[in-house]
Copies of this chain bind each other. A is one copy, B any other.
């Protein structure tokens, strides 16, 4: 018995009804994670692999942020060939907290525009 790792955990996502507002707000209160969310929201129906986000952190750090986003219910990730594809849970968020995501993204757009 040498290794007791848990590689490739089964990617748990909260159900729509279980999405917690405080977790969502906390997840959005970070520039790197906001960039991820905003990038996904920019292209409707957008999916993209982890490596393609315009963020400036180490891969392991980004992986951590994906976990936070996933567990908060903001994004969904599915396994694919050699990639992990990320999508925004737009509809689920809209069902759980109507208007929240759009309003926050608009607010972010404002603050970027000075």
Interface residues of A (CB under 8 A from B): 20-22, 25-26, 28-31, 34, 96-100, 103-104, 106-108, 110-111
Contact = CB atoms under 8 A, between A and B. Distances in A.
A30 B21 contact: no
Contact of A100 (B96, B98, B104): B104
A34 B28 CA distance: 16
B108 A21 contact: yes
Contact of A104 (B25, B26, B30, B31): B25
A26 to B, nearest CB: 4
B34 A30 contact: no
A25 B21 contact: no
Contact of A96 (B22, B31, B103, B110): B110
Contacts of A25: 25-26, 28-29, 104
Contacts of A98: 103, 106-107
A71 to B, nearest CB: 14
The listed residue with most B CB atoms (<10 A of its CB), out of A25, A30, A34, A106, is A25
